[in-house]
Structures are given as structure tokens and as C-alpha cells.
Structure 1
């Protein structure tokens, strides 16, 4: 996989390139935006890793230009700015994800893997081909149970073939994919690496796993699929520990070379602040100081000097144009720079310290990962793999991450390496061992506690009390379904959501502010402190908090006056406000609550009481806000909230010139289901459809219950045809599900849907809704159980029947399944069972049928290539595009040469066929 890294800090660029190269990526680097742009125009990349603040062409402009040219390459932004505005600007410009500096190498590589998986046909964590397994998370390769030790290029070759398993790669194409632009190997180099890879595969019994397609190149041998092993997500603790250690050593080496330049940057920052001492209004100098501080935020954090990164971020904040640099601010800048210099100089006198595995640092890292938006992680502790196997489909879909540990000792190692969000513990309640009890006590003592979900076969009330005594946070009775496990995990995550809140504290005593910050941050709170109460309004606009803590007695304005002001503003009326006060007399307490406070704490402050009150208040507020946005029956977004979300998507689409797909969906025959089986069963149908929609679509998509039986789906960045394909996949999944009535009778459910696209079908939500409902009505009229795009028309009777797809195939079972799938997506189809009839019907003297696409299957004893030649001679291929199904390698190139539009290889892949049909329909 080939990555373009655009980063102007040469040492950070070197570090990131080293880390990525160790993970077997091919990395090209550029030191400014213009140089990066020239590279991306010349070379096809799998991903672009892009700093935001770049010389010549900044990262946001780079994104916009790239998307304006229609380049779909995944873009991961690197930014030291953590405000929502900066994130939204990057995403609006076309970025797929962002990562806040300082960059943690393990998170960087995980996010890159996630982005690269989105563009692949396979979404499994482990790439497989028969008995061959390649795990991108630790660059491990095994055949059966035997590990293969490959060179970086051999590994890259194998991964390239596995990620594009149906493609033949020429030598020149391999060079373009696996060598950076500053390397100039000959094509014979490919032969050498292929030979070395084959020799290693031969030692494990797979000598011809990579086959040569003479005249074309190389590909994977299809015959190895007969012994295919299903991929499983597994814990790779030892490999991860080794890789983490190697990364730390790399960071330490590069730090030795980078330290001089970082000190120079601190010196430039010091000089700029000295100028501002005499002329605070010097805009250019302030801008220079802000840029230098911004660079230090990322570089110091990346090299593990987190405290230095925080100091630089404070300096950058004070250098913002809207901050007035008066004497207090200038003195603060001097103190910050002095502390920063001492910290960096101290770090240069000794090797870079390796981060220890203390609970506080593990929690800080864990909270940083959760803020960055990673999937919830679950550590499964127990001897059986039943839970891991049960959750495998959700792992493959990117819903959660799982790792496993066979026993308590392995669990401790796993938690120290990568702290999970939840521990799922398979526990026999009748016989809890001393080591299991010790682990539960240990996890409960974390700050904050690490929640444990206990699984057991018993389900008595006394058992649940036992779990509470063991400090478990949830219970599952065995056996459990995947949905039950995910619901339990989701419930616990919602309970712990409050620990990720942002708390703004206003107090004129710096020592109190520092004490509160030190107290709250280990619990995962993002703490913002403010010692000037008159700056509260500006601070609220810049970093909107989840909870506000106010002191009562402050100079210039009291906390009670601030509280009253906020309660009089509709934007902040919901904000929880907690008071700190040394006065507990009835009159003061009355004033506090009369002003609109939610709670108060008396000084001196007890840390545990403060944390508990904040957690409870945040959890309560978030629960109420969540209920106001959620449909109570289906658990998905309600109409009011989804209307806001959809309008937001349309606004983003207008700014970034991206499409938005809106779909409206109704279950078929729900009225009859309610009448025949009862309202309770009908509600179950609505609930299951809502849950299925939520599982199938991305977290950033809008999935809502619009009215009684209507569902709305908003898909940002997707076209109408992509929306039809996504909804059709949901419909095909729903068809397989059986519902059971109270009488025991089983039945199945389908739905109809209409799909529209912004801005082609409407420039506003109301117009798009009307168009989607019109398409939905067409789907109902056509018999239901299908997804139709807006503008779909039924077949008009005429002498020459014009349809979308003709399927020519001898197998009636195959034809029936394929035709149903095509009709589900709105295609008008016709089936012909033999090639002779096809020639007569489509290209005879008096054709009765005209088709945009012809799907031509294989016939025993009949040469398909001759049929294609006949169609070409009869001029049918001028208006009809021929796609050959399940061709052999010796047919493929010949078919294209004689007039076929495309082909699918064996084994048949319907998803590939649908991509080809959409492409053919656009031409």
C-alpha cells in the first residue's frame, strides 16, 4: 500500500515515515503542500497523510483541490488544533478522518488500516487465501500454523495480492504500487522478490500460491481457496508488545537528531515574545510566535514530551489574534516559555524516557484514543472462543474491536499494553477463584474504574447481588446472542460516557484551579480553567463545555451573576452549573439555586465527592438530552433530531460540493401484520428494521424513524445508485430474518424504499423528501419488496421492448436468484436460457428486445466468444454492453478484444457484478 506523507517538520516526517515503513507501507514524503500536490497528480496513492499547517498550500486547501478534481483517495489530516471548528473545516474540505497531534504511532497505524479497509472489497481484520493468513495489525504471516518470515518487500507483495485477489499485476504495476518515487529499481527486481517469496511459500507447502499469467503478470492461485480458513480476530499481545518497544526505540533515536532544531524553535519563540513585550500589537510577530508554538505542540508530543506539548499549546492559545496581550498575559507567556525551555533542555541531557505502564498514563492514553473516535474495544477473558466468534461479524463491520486473553495473567498483560473500554469475563459464580477476585478488585481500583461485564450460566437475583459485590458493572446469562452482548456493552459505555466530558472551571484562585485540574483529569475529564471571570463568554464560544464549575466570590463579577446571565440565554440554558463555596448558610444556598444552579459543593473540597457529583450530573444531563433525540420504540434518531442532522449534511454538501443521498423506507404489509399477529409483533418488526439500519450504515449517517411506519436514511458523500445498493443490501438481509408470532407461526418481512440525490433531485430537505416519497410510491406500485431510485419508470409497451438487463444463462436457479437481486435494485430484466435465442431476440432480422446490458453466462459445449463476435457483427454491441460471467483466465483478454465490455472471474461475486453494472449504466 502506497502512502503520501505531506509534513514540513523534517524530524516528525522522518519519524512517521519510519513507523509506517516498519508496518510495510511504501511512503513518499513532501515538505510543503505544493510539492505534495505535484506528487498526487503524478502518482496513484492508497492514502494521503496530510498536515494542516503547511507552507505554499495548506492542508485544508489541499483537500478541497483534491476533491474538486474528483480524486477519492482517503485523506487523514494531522492537526495540533483540537477545536470542533478546525475538525469540521477539515472534514468539510473532504478529509476522511483526522488525528490530533501529538501523534501516537499505534493509533496512527490503526486509523490508516481502518481507512484503507473502507476501500477494499474485504473488510476482515485478517486477510486470507486458503490456509494463508496475513494480519495487518502486527504484520504477521502464517500458512496453516507455520509462521513465515518475510522481508518488507515480500510482505508488501503478498499484501498487495491479498487485497486485490482477483487482479493480475504486471511488473510495472507492482513497481508503481510498492516502490516510492525516489527509488529506481529495474523490472527484474520484481522477478527476484517473487522468486524469494515463492521459495518461502514452498517451504510451508504452497509453492505455486502465486501463479504467473503469461504475458500479463502475477496473481493468486484460485485453487488454494478450496481449503479456505475463516478469518478470526485474535489477540496478538506478544507481537504488539515487541512492536511497541521497537517503535519507542525508533522515537528515541530520531529524538537525538531532532532535539537541536526543537531548541532553535524555542529560541525563535522566545525572541518573538520579547518583541511583543515592547509592541504587543505587532501582528506579524504574533503570527510567527503562534506558528512556532503550533509546530512545537505536535513535535514535542510526538516525541513523548507530553508536558512540553501542553505548554506549547497554552502559548499558542495566548498568541491568538483575539487575545489582548496585556501585562498579565505577557508575563504568563514569559513563564510558559521559561518552563518550556527548561523542559526541552532537560530532555536533551538524557535519552528520551520510555513511557511507563502506570495506571494514570494508561488511562490518559486510553482517554485520548476515545476522544479521537476509535471503536469501543472489548477484552474477552476466558478459555473459550465462543464470545469472540459470536462478535466476529461486528468486528468485521468495524463496530467494535476485540482481543482475547485465556486467563487472568494474560488479561493483565493485555490491559497494560492496550487498555480496553470493557472487560468481558466468563465467570463461574459458584466457584470464583482467588486470581479472578484479585483481577476484579484491581480493575475496580483504576481511575476511573475499568468496567467488567460478567457472563455466567446462573441468573438468580442472588447471583446478580454476587456480581455487584464483585464490582461487576453488567451481567449476561449464557447463552447470549450477539445483539444481547452489544446491547449490554452499549449500556455500560453510556454509563461511563460522562467521564469523557469537558469541564470549565472559573475561579480567581490559581491554586484551586490547579488542584481541581489535577483531581479531575485522571478521571478522563478534559479540564479548562479560567481565572478571569469576565472572559467566560469568550471561553464558552471557543471551547463549549459539558459542565461549568463556578466560584461564588470573585472580583468584578460574582459566580451567581454569571449563572443568572447564562440562564437568561437560550443557548446555555441547558448547561449544568455546579458551585464551589465556603459558605453553607441557608441564605447563600437559596441564592445559588435561585440563580439556576444544579448543585453546589462546600469548601474545603473533597475530591471523591466532587468527582461523584460531576459524574452524576453529566450522566443525568446526557440521558435527558439523548432521550429527547431518540425514538423510544426503535432506539434510533427521531424526526426532530434527524431533521437537524439532515439539514446539517446538506449544508456540508453544499460547502464541499459532495452528494447526499436521502432514502425513505416503509415496511410492506405492516397493517396486515398488526391485524394478524397483534400490535406487539408489529412493534418488534419496526424495532428490528431500525436496528438493522443502524448496523448496516456508518455512524456518521442519519438513520431515523420519520413517522409511524416511515424511516429516513441520509448518506453523506453517496450517490443515488450507491444509496440504492446500500438499501438493497439491507433488504436482502431482512428477507433472511424470521419473526415469530405469539402463536408460534413464523413469517418474514420486506420493505419498499425510494432513493434521491442532492442536488440533482432537490436542493432542500423538503424537495428531496417529496422526491423520495414519490420513488417509494413507485416501489409500492411495482409490487413492493424493492428499492427504486427517483425517476424510475415502468416498462412501456412497444414493438421493440427496451429493458435494462438481459441475463443469458442455462441455470434456472442461478437466474432466479440473480433476477430477484437485480429487480430489488430497480432494474428491468429479462431471462434467456440459451445463446441461440439471444442472437435471434437481440440481433436477428426482426429483434424484439433491446437491452442496455447483456449478462452472458457459460453454456456447456458452446463457445461464448463466438456469441460475442455474432453480437458484434449484428451491431448489437453498439447499444448493448456485454459482461461475461465467471470467465477463465484464457477467456478474459480475448473477450475484451472482440467487443465485451467487462467480465467477472470465477468464483462469482455479485458485489463485483453490481459495480460493473453501475459503471455500464453511466456510459
Structure 2
């Protein structure tokens, strides 16, 4: 879900307004159950009201501070610490703790004023702001040879970087005052001076990463460039992918899927509050208020982490963690509890059934973002090491097939379209024989990087084997899928590579098949393979689509 920082803050302000209106109703419920609890003469009469009071105290303690009502939250937390042991007791009597009445009065009379404005600290949104701003920034290419600059711009445009061209250092510096680029790629030597490209970095004071391109390989040139503060030194000839990799690393804009987080809390406003904070930090979030909906959402949403409350009516967080861990598919999925529980023994007990971490409510937005991102990224990185191909970083053969099968299961329930494509490099054996295996590996990596930048974050791509790639396009019809794949084909054809015989280009062929419920499983793969074979037979460098329900295959 796309969300700007401004809209996230607006959402949280709206939630705070809604919570303020709801808080008085929650306190009225507390007063009502307290009245009935005091009048109860037996445990059977008292227990329902005691359970309700415990749940309400827990709910208010965990939610009030999130919206700025610190005094109310503190009073509810003190009350819950007394109520919970009573609710968990054997029920021998209905006698209340001597302090209970005082704690109840303290909660009901706590000032309902906001001590802390319910907004997001700047630090919690720094990542979101930087990323959003960087995505809008162009790349500056500075080169006195306009034709050479245009060729470079054309090459990196295939990887979704948009460039502005300048023929002199002064022109580029003037443009920086109006438009801040994500990075600057510059020639080293200019008519105005042999090192003017490198001096561009020193004049910018290190505020923008500068990449120098040059035919010089001597130590003196490298030292001068380093002293000017340039971020990278690329001797010519330059592979387009090498340049793109440097830009990726220096700008942090390498394409990748957003972190996917499920927030489960029976208090809707609290769940939405935490969800809005995580969305503002660039994560995709699914908010749930019913534990019974979690298993189906896990299958559909495929999260990187689950954040859940520990105390929920009907099914506690501990019980929910046990249920999740019963499925081997989710043994490595991080589960983090978020609760007002501050007793360390209870926290450790909560971790033993399968949770990975424990965060205490209320939590500062920046701490929430940092904790969730750190845990989710570590889990995703570990999963990628186990599931991805070492050369390309894409999913391996087995895992791309597993993801295809999962998507097939999903669309059988939703009846949405599912496209699958096999992509194969043309005449790749000749590339290895003539240009060398290192050049061949570079071609494979270039296609992998192109697929990552041109496909949606919801699409799934893997290396199927050798020079063959597999792509799963959920919720995509045949016309749209074919158009996307043909665009990738055309872009890849333009990318230049360097090998034993100098510069060369490679084309690709593609076979596309739609999911047919009558032929699930490998049937879609076999159909795509037939379409790919047809593309090769018809001359390569083309996309062929298998017509659903027939044996016909058509060209895009």
C-alpha cells in the first residue's frame, strides 16, 4: 500500500480524534463492570465482571499512551497488574485487594488530557522521507561528448534511472542548486582542465555521490580522484551493469520488495495506529483485529513478520504463535509480541512457544520502526541466502516453482488471472564461446537486474536454470503480461556488454502461459515452455503467448 509521510500523519491524527471520543465510553464500561463486581456475592457472579475489567484495563493501558493519554495509561496499567492475578486465580472468594478500589478511582478520575501530541517523530520517518525524495531525483551525467553521454543515459534508462545531461562541470553545478540529483556520473577530463570531473566532488563538499569515468588507469589519477572525495572510479570500457550497480549502492535505490508486516491486535485503533507508523516507514501492512483471520492472511499476504498483541479475547497471542508454528512453512517467520506486559518472567514465558521478540506498549514510533525493520530484514536476508541463486540474487529453481504453486492455489479461490513466463537468452552458448564465460555471467546478471527493476514488487522472478528465467505475474491478464514482457525484451536488446571481442548485444525469447484450472501444477510451466520453443523456432527475440484453452500460440 502506497502512503506518503503526510497522509500517515493525517491518519494518525484522525485515529487520535476517534480514540479520544471512544475513551470516555471505555471508562464508562469500566465503571459499570466495577459496580456489578462490587455487588457480586459469589465467584460465579463476580468472574464475568472481573474478566471484563481485566480486559478493559489491558486495552486502555496499551492504547491510551499511544494517543497521548499518559496519565490514563499509567492508571490502567497499575489496575491491570492487580486485576490479572485475581482473574487467573482459583476463585475461592470474591474479596478484592485493599488497593483495588483506590486504583479503580484513580483510573476513572485520571485527567483525559493529551500530554504528548500523537504524531510521528522526525527520526522515525527519516527513512521514508529519504527514499521517497531519492526516487524523484534524476541522475546527472556530465560529459563534454554529448553523443557518449546520450549512449550512457540510454543504457541506464533500461534499469529505470532517468538522466539529465550536461556538457560542462559549471552547467552541472548550476543545475544542482535547482534540482538535487541522486548521484553524478562524470567524465574525468574536460577542455577546462584534466581533473575537472573529480573536482566536481570537492566543490559539492561530499553532499552528492560522484562517479568518475576515465580511460586513465594510473595511480596518480586514482589518488587525485580519491582526494577530491569521489565515490567511485570506473576505468573504460564500462559495463552498463557495473555502472548501475554503483548507482544502486550509492543511492540505496536498488529495486526490492517492501517489507510486509501483519499487525494483529483486537483493539482496532491501536492496530491501525501501529500500521500507519509502519506504512509511513515504507512497509506494506495488513491490519487484523481477529486472530481467526491470521492463517488465511499468512497464505495470501506472505509477510516478513507478524506483530501481535499478547492478550486477546478468545485466543491469546501465545496460543496464536503455537498455531502458526504448527505449519512448517512458518517456522522461520518472525513473531513479535507487543503488549503492556512488563513482568520479565511472563515475557520470557511468552517467547518460549514460538515468538521471537517482545516489545512493550506504549512504544515510540521510531523505536517501533527500527525494531520491526531490523528483525524483518534479518529474517528476509537469511531466507534469501537459503532460497536464492548465488549469481543473480533471484529465487532458485525450486523456490520459484514453490511460489508459482502457491499463487495457483490462491487464484483457484479468487478466480483472478495468473500469468507465468519462461525467458531464455538467445544463442547464449555462442556468447560464452566467443566473449568468455565471465562476460556470459555478466549478461545473466544484467537480465536479472533488468527484470528486478521493470517488474512490479508483487511479481515473482527466479533463475530457472542456466540462462533461463521464470516470472510469475499475479493478477495479470495475457495482454498486459505480454506487453510487459515485450517491453523488457526491447530494453534488454539495447543493453551493451563487454567481452573478448569488444562490445556486443544479446536478445531474449519468451514463452507466456495463463493459469488454467483444468491443468494446475506443472501444466502451466509446460505450456509456457511450448510457447518459448515456438518463439525460438520463429527466429528468437520475440514473445509468444499460449492461447488459454487451446493448443494455439500467438505472437505479441
User: What is the TM-score normalised by the length of structure 1?
Assistant: 0.34
The answer on whether the counterparts of 1:636 and 1:705 sit within 8 Å (CA) in structure 2 is: yes
Q: Please name the residue that 1:710 is paired with.
A: 468
The answer on whether the counterparts of 2:141 and 2:149 sit within 8 Å (CA) in structure 1 is: no
Q: Please name the residue that 1:574 is paired with.
A: 332
Q: Specify the SS of the correspondent of 1:712.
A: strand
Q: Specify the SS of the correspondent of 1:686.
A: helix
Count of residue correspondences: 439
The answer on whether the counterparts of 1:549 and 1:579 sit within 8 Å (CA) in structure 2 is: yes
Q: Please name the residue that 1:766 is paired with.
A: 522
Q: Specify the SS of the correspondent of 1:399.
A: coil
The answer on whether the counterparts of 1:720 and 1:757 sit within 8 Å (CA) in structure 2 is: no
Residues 757 and 610 of structure 1, relative CA distance in 2, 3 Å threshold: closer
| Whole-angstrom CA distance in 2 between matches of 1:408 and 1:646 | 49
Aligned pair partner of 2:205 in 431, 436, 444 = 436
Residues 651 and 617 of structure 1, relative CA distance in 2, 3 Å threshold: closer
Aligned pair partner of 1:687 in 422, 431, 445 = 445
Within a 5 Å distance, the mapping from 1:772-921 to structure 2 comes to 772-780=528-536, 788=544, 790=546
Q: Please name the residue that 2:160 is paired with.
A: 399
Q: Specify the SS of the correspondent of 2:528.
A: helix
Aligned pair partner of 1:719 in 457, 467, 478 = 478
Q: Specify the SS of the correspondent of 1:666.
A: strand
**TM superposition shift of 1:620:** 1.7
| Whole-angstrom CA distance in 2 between matches of 1:698 and 1:499 | 11
| Whole-angstrom CA distance in 1 between matches of 2:439 and 2:235 | 25
Q: Specify the SS of the correspondent of 1:631.
A: coil
| Whole-angstrom CA distance in 1 between matches of 2:528 and 2:276 | 53
Pair 1:378-2:83 in alignment: no
The answer on whether the counterparts of 1:549 and 1:577 sit within 8 Å (CA) in structure 2 is: yes
Residues 620 and 783 of structure 1, relative CA distance in 2, 3 Å threshold: same
| Whole-angstrom CA distance in 1 between matches of 2:276 and 2:155 | 38
Q: Specify the SS of the correspondent of 1:623.
A: helix
Mean CA deviation greater in 695-704 or 541-550: 541-550
Pair 1:624-2:393 in alignment: no
**TM superposition shift of 1:770:** 2.4
The answer on whether the counterparts of 1:498 and 1:619 sit within 8 Å (CA) in structure 2 is: no
Pair 1:664-2:425 in alignment: no
**TM superposition shift of 1:523:** 6.0
Residues 776 and 462 of structure 1, relative CA distance in 2, 3 Å threshold: same
Aligned pair partner of 2:15 in 310, 328, 347 = 310
Pair 1:455-2:211 in alignment: yes
Within a 5 Å distance, the mapping from 1:403-552 to structure 2 comes to 436=205, 440=207, 453-456=209-212, 475=232, 477=234, 483-491=241-249, 493=252, 502=261, 546-547=304-305
**TM superposition shift of 1:399:** 3.2
**TM superposition shift of 1:623:** 1.6
Q: Specify the SS of the correspondent of 2:466.
A: coil
| Whole-angstrom CA distance in 2 between matches of 1:434 and 1:561 | 60
| Whole-angstrom CA distance in 2 between matches of 1:752 and 1:455 | 34
Higher Rg = 1
| Whole-angstrom CA distance in 2 between matches of 1:541 and 1:315 | 33
**TM superposition shift of 1:621:** 1.6
| Whole-angstrom CA distance in 1 between matches of 2:56 and 2:515 | 49
The answer on whether the counterparts of 2:139 and 2:162 sit within 8 Å (CA) in structure 1 is: no
| Whole-angstrom CA distance in 2 between matches of 1:771 and 1:702 | 18
Within a 5 Å distance, the mapping from 1:203-214 to structure 2 comes to none
User: What is the TM-score normalised by the length of structure 2?
Assistant: 0.51
The answer on whether the counterparts of 2:418 and 2:477 sit within 8 Å (CA) in structure 1 is: yes
Residues 103 and 570 of structure 1, relative CA distance in 2, 3 Å threshold: same
Q: Please name the residue that 1:859 is paired with.
A: none
**TM superposition shift of 1:315:** 9.5
**TM superposition shift of 1:690:** 3.9
The answer on whether the counterparts of 1:665 and 1:710 sit within 8 Å (CA) in structure 2 is: yes
Q: Specify the SS of the correspondent of 1:773.
A: helix
The answer on whether the counterparts of 1:364 and 1:522 sit within 8 Å (CA) in structure 2 is: no
| Whole-angstrom CA distance in 1 between matches of 2:224 and 2:359 | 37
**TM superposition shift of 1:666:** 3.5
| Whole-angstrom CA distance in 2 between matches of 1:515 and 1:658 | 31
Q: Specify the SS of the correspondent of 1:706.
A: strand
| Whole-angstrom CA distance in 2 between matches of 1:747 and 1:649 | 37
**TM superposition shift of 1:520:** 8.3
| Whole-angstrom CA distance in 1 between matches of 2:409 and 2:422 | 20
| Whole-angstrom CA distance in 1 between matches of 2:480 and 2:293 | 45
**TM superposition shift of 1:308:** 4.2
Over residues 474-516 of structure 1, what are the superposed CA-to-partner deviations in whole Å (9 max), with x where a residue is unaligned?
75658766534543454454799899675859899x99x9999
**TM superposition shift of 1:650:** 5.4
| Whole-angstrom CA distance in 1 between matches of 2:153 and 2:504 | 27
The answer on whether the counterparts of 1:456 and 1:477 sit within 8 Å (CA) in structure 2 is: yes
Over residues 745-802 of structure 1, what are the superposed CA-to-partner deviations in whole Å (9 max), with x where a residue is unaligned?
6666455544445559x743523332333344445556656555558xxxxxxxxxxx
Over residues 556-595 of structure 1, what are the superposed CA-to-partner deviations in whole Å (9 max), with x where a residue is unaligned?
99988876665455464333356899788xx999878766
Residues 502 and 678 of structure 1, relative CA distance in 2, 3 Å threshold: same
| Whole-angstrom CA distance in 2 between matches of 1:776 and 1:540 | 37
Structure with greater contact order relative to length (CA < 8 Å, sep ≥ 6)? 2
Residues 436 and 654 of structure 1, relative CA distance in 2, 3 Å threshold: same
The answer on whether the counterparts of 2:158 and 2:450 sit within 8 Å (CA) in structure 1 is: no
